[in-house]
Each structure stands twice: as C-alpha cells, then as structure tokens.
Copies of this chain bind each other. A is one copy, B any other.
Amino acid sequence: MTDQKERSTIVLFSGDLDKAIAAYIIANGAAAYDREVTIFHTFWGLNLLRKNELVQTKKGFLEKMFGKMMPRGADKMGLSKMNFGGMGPKMIKRVMNKHNVQTLPQLVDMAQEQGVKLVACTMTMDLLGLKEDELIDGLDYAGVAAYLADAEQSNHNLFI
C-alpha cells in the first residue's frame, strides 16, 4: 500500500562474540534485501563498538573499573558457550576464515557500508562511563525512546 521500506530493529544486549556475529549476519542479510535496519547496542553489546586502542578519558573509579574489565572492541569478545579461556573464539575465527565467513569487524564494516543504523545506547554509556571518543566512528547516539520509535515501525524485532 505504501512505498515505505520494511524495517528490522535489533537490540544487541549481549557481549558474546557468537551472538554479535548472529546479529550482524541477520542485519547484513536484511539490509541486502533492502530493508531498513537498526542495531541498538545496549549494555554489554556496546563493547563491540569500542575502539581497539586505549583512549584517555576522565573517569570516576567505578567507570575505570568497568572500562578495564570489559572487552575493547569486536576483536576481543568471548563466546557464550565453550569459551575455554579464549581458545573457543580462536577456533571459531579459524573456522570462519577457512569457510570464507567474514569476521565480526568485517561484518560491522559491511553493515556501515550498507547503511545499517548502528546506535549506541546513551544511558548505558552514562552508566558504564563510556565516552564517544572511545567508540568507533559513524555511530548514532540515542536512548530507549528512539529505539521504541524504530521498533514500532518494525515487524521484525529481535533481542539478542
């Protein structure tokens, strides 16, 4: 009836490598089929948007502790199952490489190229003491109200 594109909205709550890969494969697939796609990164899901390098920022004590304990970026994340102190992610990455599946950083790049809207949850940033300088470029910054507005126009909503 309308010319509006179909929409998919994904909440990425998890900081697990395998769940993030699943989220980005679904998002990239949906974008390839010309859907408008948003990934709203909240809680541990924000970690995958962190830059690899250490960025100097002014933080309180609790924020510093969180910053140190949480993985910095898509390349540092663990698996939800069979992590084995980091051996699991290495195996998964070797297997993905062998089968020409893209790595998570490549999936994130591809999502940005395809126009997937990557949103960092500002409430979580506040809570965990993350600053915009510490996150990768090209993100949107918004709160739960913006997520809800997107979700309302999507029939394909996932919480991952």
Contacts and interface: CB of A to CB of B under 8 A. Distances in A.
Given A43-B22, A99-B127, A148 B30 contact: yes
A127 B92 CA distance: 8
Contacts of A96: 127
A155 to B, nearest CB: 5
Contacts of A81: 15, 44
Interface residues of A, number: 51
Chain copies in the assembly?
3
A116 to B, nearest CB: 14
A82 B69 contact: yes
B66 A29 contact: no
A126 interface: yes
A119 to B, nearest CB: 14
A144 B25 contact: yes
Given A22-B42, A22-B43, A152 B160 contact: no
A82 B158 CA distance: 24
Sort A-B residue pairs by CB-CB distance and give the 6 closest, nearest first.
A158-B159, A29-B144, A151-B156, A155-B155, A159-B160, A29-B148
